[in-house]
Structure 1
Amino acid sequence: MIAFFLAAHKLKNRTEPNTAMSVLQYIVVLVIMASGIAVVTVDQLVTTNITPFLLICIIVGSVFLIRPLISFMIFITSYAAYYYLIALTITNQQILLSNRVNGITAIGIGFLLSLIMWHYNFTNITQKRCIESQQKQLEKMAYYDPLTDLPNRRYLEKLLEREFSSMQRCGHETVLIILDIDNFKNINDTYGHPVGDNILRQLANLLINNVRESDTVSRFGGEEFIILMPKTSVEEGYAFAERLRKLIMEKRFTVGAITLQVTASFGVSSMADINNQNLEDYYFHADKALYLAKQGGKNRVEVACGG
Structure 2
Amino acid sequence: MHFSLHEVRVLLAQWRTDDALVESEADLANLSRIRWFAPIGAFFGLLTALVFGVSIVVNMASDTAAWRWGWGSVLMQSAMGLALLGAAWLAKQQPRTGRTKTMRYLPIGLACFCMADAIVFVYLEQWGSDSVTPYIYVCLLLAVSLLLKPSTVVWIYCTGFVVFNWVLGQSPSSPHQILTNRLDALTACAMGMGVSIYLWRRYVAFYVQQEALQQANAELQDKQRELQRLTRTDGLTNLFNRKTFVELTQQELQRAQRQNSSTAILVMDLDYFKKVNDTWGHPAGDAVLKHAATLASSAVRSTDLVARLGGEEFIVLLPSTSIDAARRLAEKIRAKIEAHPAQWSGQRIPVTVSIGSAGCTAAEKLDFDALYYNADKALYLAKQRGRNRVI
Shorter-chain TM-score above 0.5: yes
Aligned with 1:23 (options 96, 99, 102): 99
Give the fraction of aligned pairs with identical amino acids, expressed as a percent.
26
Structure 1 residues 163-172 or 109-118, which shifts more?
163-172
1:84–1:104: structure 2 CA closer, same or farther, 3 Å change rule?
Answer: same
3-state SS, counterpart of residue 361 of structure 2? helix
Q: Tell me how far 1:130 sits from its aligned partner.
A: 2.6
Aligned with 1:195 (options 261, 276, 284): 284
Q: How far apart in 1 are the matches of 2:246 and 2:379?
A: 19
Asked whether the 8 Å contact 1:36–1:53 carries over to 2, the reply is yes
Q: Which amino acid aligns with 1:203?
A: A
Higher CA-based Rg: 2
The alignment of Structure 1 onto Structure 2 pairs a total of residues equal to 275
3-state SS, counterpart of residue 358 of structure 2? strand
Aligned with 2:190 (options 101, 122, 128): 101
Deviation sequence 1:136-175 (CA, Å, 0-9, x none): 2321331111111211111112212322232233333332
Residue 256 (structure 1) aligns with: 345
Structure 1 residues 168-177 or 119-128, which shifts more?
168-177
Q: How far apart in 2 are the matches of 1:221 and 1:176?
A: 16
Unpaired segments ≥5 residues, structure 1 = 9-20, 61-70, 303-307
Q: Tell me how far 1:178 sits from its aligned partner.
A: 1.2
Q: How far apart in 2 are the matches of 1:133 and 1:199?
A: 30
1:276–1:79: structure 2 CA closer, same or farther, 3 Å change rule?
Answer: farther
Structure 1 residues 256-265 or 77-86, which shifts more?
77-86
Residue 117 (structure 2) aligns with: 42
Residue 329 (structure 2) aligns with: 240
Q: How far apart in 2 are the matches of 1:83 and 1:168?
A: 80
Q: How far apart in 2 are the matches of 1:34 and 1:232?
A: 72
Q: How far apart in 2 are the matches of 1:293 and 1:98?
A: 95
3-state SS, counterpart of residue 309 of structure 2? strand
Q: How far apart in 2 are the matches of 1:41 and 1:95?
A: 17
Asked whether the 8 Å contact 2:265–2:318 carries over to 1, the reply is yes
Is 1:111 the counterpart of 2:161 in the alignment?
no
Asked whether the 8 Å contact 1:33–1:56 carries over to 2, the reply is no
Residue 180 (structure 1) aligns with: 269
Aligned with 2:374 (options 262, 274, 285): 285
Which residues of 2 match residues 225-236 of structure 1 at below 5 A?
225-236=314-325
Is 1:301 the counterpart of 2:377 in the alignment?
no
Residue 134 (structure 1) aligns with: 223
Q: How far apart in 1 are the matches of 2:355 and 2:237?
A: 19
Unpaired segments ≥5 residues, structure 2 = 1-34, 36-88, 122-132, 169-181
3-state SS, counterpart of residue 268 of structure 2? strand
Is 1:54 the counterpart of 2:143 in the alignment?
yes
Q: Tell me how far 1:38 sits from its aligned partner.
A: 3.6
TM-score by length of 1: 0.77
Q: Tell me how far 1:279 sits from its aligned partner.
A: 3.8
Q: Tell me how far 1:229 sits from its aligned partner.
A: 2.2
Larger helix proportion of the pair: 2
Q: Tell me how far 1:4 sits from its aligned partner.
A: 4.3
3-state SS, counterpart of residue 262 of structure 1? coil
Q: Tell me how far 1:285 sits from its aligned partner.
A: 1.8
Residue 172 (structure 2) aligns with: none
Deviation sequence 1:58-115 (CA, Å, 0-9, x none): xx4xxxxxxxxxx7xx442354244435666673344443343223202321221122
The RMSD of aligned alpha carbons is 3.0
1:172–1:255: structure 2 CA closer, same or farther, 3 Å change rule?
Answer: same
Q: Tell me how far 1:252 sits from its aligned partner.
A: 1.9
Which protein, 1 or 2, shows the higher relative CO under an 8 Å CA cutoff with sep ≥ 6? Answer: 1
Q: Tell me how far 1:5 sits from its aligned partner.
A: 8.8
3-state SS, counterpart of residue 301 of structure 1? coil
1:279–1:257: structure 2 CA closer, same or farther, 3 Å change rule?
Answer: closer
Residue 15 (structure 1) aligns with: none
Q: Tell me how far 1:299 sits from its aligned partner.
A: 1.0
Residue 254 (structure 2) aligns with: 165
Q: How far apart in 2 are the matches of 1:296 and 1:166?
A: 35
